[in-house]
Amino acid sequence: MNTFADQLLVLVMLINFILLGSSRMTVSIRAVALQGVVLGLLPVLINNFSFHLLLISGGIILAKGVVIPWLLFGAMQRVQIKREVEPFIGYVPTLLLGAVTTALAFVFAARLPLAPEHQGLLIIPSSIATLITGFLVLTTRRKAISQVTGYLVLENGIFIFGLLLTEAMPMMVEAGALLDLIVGIFVMGIVINHISREFSSIDTTRLSALKE
């Protein structure tokens, strides 16, 4: 079972690279949705089966795979965002940065003192790699909506880290985190709308200029 979970975590890391390398907005939103669904499957696979876990998984898949992408696509249509992502630095440098940080995540994870049952798993390296990918997407993309995807990936990284604690973590905490996330997406959607109305574009670089 654990080897299958490991393959899924490899898939999660590949999706990170797709996010960093893709130039289309729709592709990156779909990639984030797929990552959410894969992450939703993980708690059931890693721990022993229980009804509580099934509920968590269903909630996560519903929120990350359906609701959030739906909200993002809705925002895209409302403010008529062009399809290109428009990064600050090119796709190849971001991809290379992503590859280097993933390698560093593996090195770092090997040095952490972990519980013996978590030692061989890919959870820690993939969690750190996903976190850093989230940071990269947040910082290198120009548009507010791509920054939302970066924020989502960041949260996915934190979620993978939380997988180590699913036994100990009560469901309320998970649910609270998800609720936070959805509220965050809503707020960001509203912010995107406002930026687009004020500046007739959602390019965040324009926010630093005081007057035109």
Partner 1 sequence: MTDLLIHLVLIICMPPLMLGIIGKTKAAFAGRVGAPYLQPYFDLFKLLRKGSVFSSTTTWIFRAGPIITLAATITAALLIPLGNHPSPISFAGDMILFAYLFGLARFFTMAAALDTGSSFEGMGAAREATFSCLVEPTLFFALIVLCRISGSLSLSTMLTHSLVNIWFSAGASLVLLVAGLFIILLAENCRIPFDDPNTHLELTMIHEVMVLDHSGPAFGYILYGAAMKLFILGAFFIHIALPFKTGDHLLDWGIFIISMVALAITIGIVESIMARLRLVRIPQLLVAASILTAFSMLLILR
Q: How many CB atoms are closer than 10 A to CB 96?
A: 12
Which residue bears the tokens 């909506």?
145
Judged by DSSP in three states, 33 sits in: helix
Site for partner 1 in 16-45 (CB under 8 A): 17, 21
Applying CB under 8 A, does 73 fall inside the site for partner 1?
no
Interacting residue with partner 1 among 52, 59, 73, 91 (CB under 8 A): 91
Q: For residue 85, how many C-alpha atoms fall within 13 Å in the half-sphere facing its CB?
A: 28
Interacting residue with partner 1 among 1, 103, 190, 207 (CB under 8 A): 103
To the nearest whole angstrom, how small is the minimum distance from the Cβ of residue 93 to partner 1?
10
The answer for 193, left when phi > 0, alpha when psi is -120 to 50, beta otherwise, is alpha
Applying CB under 8 A, does 96 fall inside the site for partner 1?
yes
Site for partner 1 in 111-150 (CB under 8 A): 125
Angle at 93 between CA 87 and CA 97, to 5 degrees: 105
CA distance 182 to 174: 13
Of the candidate spans 40-48, 74-82, 96-104, 158-166, the one that interacts with partner 1 by CB under 8 A turns out to be: 96-104
Interacting residue with partner 1 among 2, 7, 50, 139 (CB under 8 A): 7
What is the binding site for partner 1 (CB under 8 A)?
Answer: 3, 6-7, 10-11, 13-14, 17, 21, 91-92, 95-96, 98-99, 102-103, 106, 110, 125
